[in-house]
Amino acid sequence: MTEQPPLYVMSARAVDENGHYFGAEELKRLLKGIDSAQHPHIRRARLHCLLPELRTLVTELEISLNEGRSNLHAQRQQEVSRQNFNDAITTAIQTFMQDFSAIADNRAAVIEGKITEETLEQIGTYSEEVNRAIQQAAEQSLESLFAALQRAARKFGQPYLARATRQKLRHMLLPTAINVSTVTYDGHYGGMSTGAASGAVIGTAIAPGIGTVIGGVIGAFLGAGRDGKKDKEQSVILTRSNLRDAVKKVVRALEEKQEMVRTFIMQHGSQKLDTGSATLEAAINKLEVAIQAITQCIQQAEELVCE
């Protein structure tokens, strides 16, 4: 015996075969009305199905928005930290220059005090002593600079200079050797010097019996001695001045490197900034606008579904 089809299948066949019987015409009109995209029931049904997808989309966009805001905040914090680190570096370099200048001046003053008429010929030894002193001053100031840089890096979350980088920086800041030359001052300008002429008068006065010429020779000898002493005194003064000028020249040469040193440290001792912060901020603004628009659509859809 063949199994009978379900009742609804038979009813459907009957509707199809008998036209308007069994309410076929009314059923067809109903189906055609429901199939219309403009029918309010269809619109509500479609909106009802769309709402979960819209809510999911808003949730995902809000997650992306929060991540973007977090990344933007981190980038701005990084910019602030880098600027603070730059300021700390500038201060540290200025302190290094001041320390080096003070230490070098003090040590040069000690050596300067050793330059006398008797030791003037030892200036070669003094040059070595001056170079050794300013090298030691630079080394001492460099240690303070490196310590300040390390503190700043730790405070502002920046990487500390690598060993090779510190060696390059040390090479940049160590002063070049200087040569302090001896000044031989000669006060004679043709003929008899002023001291010799004065001495001739004195010599004639103290030896009148042996004649003016002989007395003048004796006086000239005495005057020349006085001129020689003055020349040595002047040589000491000028040589000391040479020493001071040489040390000042070294200090000025280092001071002129301040900006170059700061740039070098920032290039090798700070985190590289992400230059996409402007793009990220623009994307965040677009996300905010999109979320606002979709949220409004959800509100309108919910109102229509509830009608």
The pTM (predicted TM-score) of the whole model is: 0.62
How far does Cα 155 stand from its chain's mean position?
15
According to the model, what pLDDT value does residue 78 have? 87
Dump the DSSP string for 153-171.
HHHTT-PPPPHHHHHHHHH
141 lies in some domain: yes
**Does residue 220 sit within a domain?**
no
Q: Residue 153 falls within a domain, yes or no?
A: yes
Contact 187/228 with Cβ under 8 angstroms?
A: no
Whole-number pLDDT of residue 146: 95
pLDDT at 205: 43
Q: Which two tokens stand for residue 260?
A: 């170059």
Q: Which among 262, 261, 252 has a CA at the least distance from the CA of 101?
A: 252
Query: What are the tokens at 226?
Result: 């006085």
pLDDT at residue 119, as a whole number: 79
Domain membership of residue 268 (yes or no) is yes
Q: What pLDDT score was predicted for residue 11?
A: 54
Is-contact 52 44, C-beta < 8 A? Answer: no
Residues 130/243, Cβ–Cβ less than 8 Å: yes
Position 177 in a domain: yes
Q: Is residue 107 part of a domain?
A: yes
Please tell me the number of Cα atoms within 13 Å of 164 on its side-chain side: 1
Continuous segment of H or E residues that includes residue 90: helix 40-114
Q: How far apart are CA 25 and CA 120, in angstroms?
A: 132
Predicted confidence at residue 215, as pLDDT, reads 42
pLDDT of residue 48: 73
125 is a domain residue: yes
Type of residue at 248: K
Structural domain of residue 157, as residue ranges?
44-183+257-288
Residues contacting 85, CB < 8 A, separation 6+: 152, 153, 156, 158, 266, 270
Task: Read off the tokens for 256.
Answer: 């002129």
Q: What is the pLDDT along the chain (307 residues), one digit of tens a residue?
A: 555 555 545 555 555 565 555 555 665 565 555 555 556 666 676 777 778 888 888 888 899 889 989 988 888 888 899 999 999 999 999 999 999 999 999 988 998 888 888 877 766 667 888 899 999 999 999 999 999 999 999 999 898 899 999 999 999 999 888 877 766 655 443 333 333 333 333 343 444 444 444 444 444 444 444 455 677 888 888 888 888 898 999 999 999 999 999 999 998 877 666 666 778 888 888 888 888 888 888 888 787 767 6
Per-residue pLDDT at 180? 75
Look at residue 264 and tell me if it is in a domain. Answer: yes
The answer to whether 87 and 212 are in contact (CB under 8 A) is no
Q: What share of the chain is helix, strand, coil (3-state, %, to 5)?
A: 80, 0, 20
Write down the pLDDT at residue 3: 59
Its sign, for the CA torsion 160, 164, 167, 169, is negative
CA atoms within 13 A on the CB side of 169: 27
User: What whole-number distance in Å separates Cα of residue 34 and Cα of residue 39?
Assistant: 6
Q: What is the pLDDT of residue 114?
A: 86
Q: CA dihedral defined by 169, 255, 80, 157, rounded to 10 degrees?
A: 30
Count of structural domains, the chain:
1
Half-sphere exposure of 79 (CA within 13 A, CB side): 11
